[in-house]
Chain A
Amino acid sequence: MPAYFPMTLNIEKIRNDFPILERETANGRRVIYLDSTATSQKPVQVIEAMNDYYRRSNANIHRGVHTLAEEATSLYEGARERIAKFINASSSREIIYTRNTTESINLVAYSWARANLKAGDLVILTEMEHHSNLVPWHMLQAERGIELEFIPVTEDGLLDLEAFKALLNRTPKLVSFTHMSNVLGTINPAGEIIKLAHAAGALTLVDGAQSVPHLTVDVQALDADFYAFSAHKMCGPTGIGVLYGKTSLLEAMPPFLGGGDMIKEVKLRSFRPNTLPHKFEAGTPAIAEAVGFGAAVDYLTQIGMDDIAAHEHEITEYALERLEEVPGVKLFGPPAEKKGGVAAFTLEGVHPHDVAQILDQDGIAVRAGHHCAQPLHEKFGIPATSRASFYLYSTKEEVDLLVQGLYKVKEMFG
């Protein structure tokens, strides 16, 4: 029997793990959750792990010597080890807890970039970035006078790698890009981009907010220098994310936030920073959330990331096919084989907000707006899109209900 084949997911069993999928919306309809790209739902395994932590083990970490403090510390650090394994980091010291992907990117922008970039230095981004990988660099540009260039997005929603190669002749210091677009769904060839960037002497920062929840990610195989992601998009809680960084880079970087836990020694007029990863974790962290993050990683590992990716691919393929049948629907992004479980679309003559609102009357949750990627929408000449997105608990029946809902929208606005 092959080690891996599609449709191995026991969807019924998986859906039972997510209590929220049982709830009804205002009109007595079962919720059809098609907004996992914004945030995923949480399985009981994660909810219970956090609950147990507060019921049994709650204490502050690292300094206490009593039983609860020991237990809290080992839960917090144990989660870090499993997260490191999940993305194949070479050591858990390379896993810095942050609040979310945004904070991880800001950590690189504040600590590494402010120590290493000067006026005129080039940072390459892409036209499909989330605002979280644009604004920190805009801010640095205003402060330092660094230069920004953007890998263009083609009509079919892919990165123009030839244009990227031309940009590399200008010897950038950093290439920072999304592994998977939160609007187009495009899965970018991260390994190739990193290789090209390294050959040009640049470091790389990958926004993995959408990739780590949906694909098998191996930071060592990718040879990424920095890699950022959030727990809440991968079955974990809000309020915690990770910055992965290569040890040598993290060790050379100045601390980001100052305070307790990030220090080795403090005098009245000076301090010595702590070792990794604590150097970057000032103050009492999100302990219960780290515990939940660890449980989320366990949950995904136990189901299997390859099977999850295969399931989402099947749903996405079906969704694109069904949506294309609806007259007036225009889809954005590449075909199913080049993208993750995201379908961004417009419906002719109806604003995306209205689409989302009318779908909501039938309990269908999609996102409408520019999805924190305003420049990308400008590129395609539209103010906003509606976006349906899928995860391990999504079903074809839900796609059918979405399509049915769109016909209802057309009828109302017809």
Chain B
Amino acid sequence: MDDLYREVIIEHYKNPSYRGKLDPHDISFADNNPLCGDHIQIDLRVDGNGIVTEAMFSGHGCAISQASADLLMESIIGKPLEDVKKLNKQDILDLLGIDLGPVRLKCALLSLKVLKAGVYGLGEASDSLVE
């Protein structure tokens, strides 16, 4: 359980590398975690070959949600959107390097849900996107 606040998570929470907004951007989407009101926006720039060239997140939330957003941004830069579409729950858990209970899992997965809803051009970041 102490692993939950591994140094890497606290570090990404306190000093995120990809916090901010991109203007202009090619893809932008935002949504909330209805359980706690956490809010995440993700902005992407994508080149002509469908490769993510820049990615930033903004909003507010707990250490788990913010650190996972930062790690997620880091991991998708340089990747094709087609690969981003394939990311799921396990990829986030691998990035964080921890196991999470059902409630905190929602915090961790918020950024991926928002990202995928944005990439797919959907109106809502639903759970089904990451399962």
- Give, as a whole number of angstroms, the nearest-CB distance from A377 to chain B: 7
Interface residues on A, range: 20 to 34
Q: Is B52 an interface residue (CB 8 A)?
A: no
User: Which B residues touch A351, using CB under 8 A?
Assistant: 60-63, 66
Nearest B residue to A358 via CB reads B5
Inter-subunit contact B62/A353 (CB<8 Å): yes
Q: Which chain B residues numbered 2 to 57 have a C-beta less than 8 Å away from chain A?
A: 2, 4-5, 10, 14, 35-39
User: Which B residues touch A27, using CB under 8 A?
Assistant: 1
Q: Is B73 an interface residue (CB 8 A)?
A: no
User: Which B residues touch A413, using CB under 8 A?
Assistant: 10, 14, 63
List the one stretch of A101-109, A216-224, A286-294, A366-374 in contact with chain B. Answer: A366-374
Q: With A354-B62, A383-B60, A412-B10 known to touch, is A370 a contact of B37 (CB < 8 Å)?
A: yes
Interface residues on B, range: 20 to 34
Q: Is B104 an interface residue (CB 8 A)?
A: yes
Chain A 66-91 interface 0/1 with B at a Cβ cutoff of 8 Å (1 = within): 00000000000000000000000000
Inter-subunit contact A369/B63 (CB<8 Å): no
Inter-subunit contact A357/B37 (CB<8 Å): no
Nearest B residue to A353 via CB reads B62
Interface centre among B10, B36, B39, B60 (most CB of A within 10 A): B36
Q: Is A8 an interface residue (CB 8 A)?
A: no
Inter-subunit contact B107/A353 (CB<8 Å): yes
Q: Is A134 an interface residue (CB 8 A)?
A: no
Q: Is A11 an interface residue (CB 8 A)?
A: no
Inter-subunit contact A354/B63 (CB<8 Å): yes
Report how far A412 CA is from B9 CA in the complex, Å.
12
User: Which A residues touch B104, using CB under 8 A?
Assistant: 353, 357
Inter-subunit contact B2/A361 (CB<8 Å): yes
User: Which A residues touch B5, using CB under 8 A?
Assistant: 354, 357-358, 412
Residue in B1, B36, B65, B66 whose CB lies within 8 Å of A368: B36
Report how far A354 CA is from B61 CA in the complex, Å.
9
Residue in B37, B64, B65 whose CB lies within 8 Å of A377: B37
Report how far A231 CA is from B5 CA in the complex, Å.
37
Inter-subunit contact B35/A26 (CB<8 Å): no
- List residues of chain A with CB under 8 Å of any chain B CB: 26-27, 350-354, 357-358, 360-361, 368-370, 374, 377, 383-384, 412-413
- List residues of chain B with CB under 8 Å of any chain A CB: 1-2, 4-5, 10, 14, 35-39, 60-66, 104, 107
Nearest 6 Cβ contacts at the A-B interface: A353-B62, A351-B62, A369-B36, A383-B37, A370-B37, A354-B63
List 17 contacting pairs A-B, 8 Å CB cutoff, sorted by A. A350-B63, A351-B63, A351-B66, A352-B36, A353-B38, A353-B64, A353-B107, A354-B5, A354-B64, A357-B5, A357-B62, A357-B64, A369-B35, A383-B61, A384-B36, A412-B5, A413-B63
User: Other CB < 8 Å A-B pairs besides A353-B38, A353-B107, A354-B62, 10 of them?
Assistant: A351-B63, A353-B36, A354-B63, A361-B1, A368-B36, A369-B36, A370-B36, A384-B36, A384-B37, A413-B63
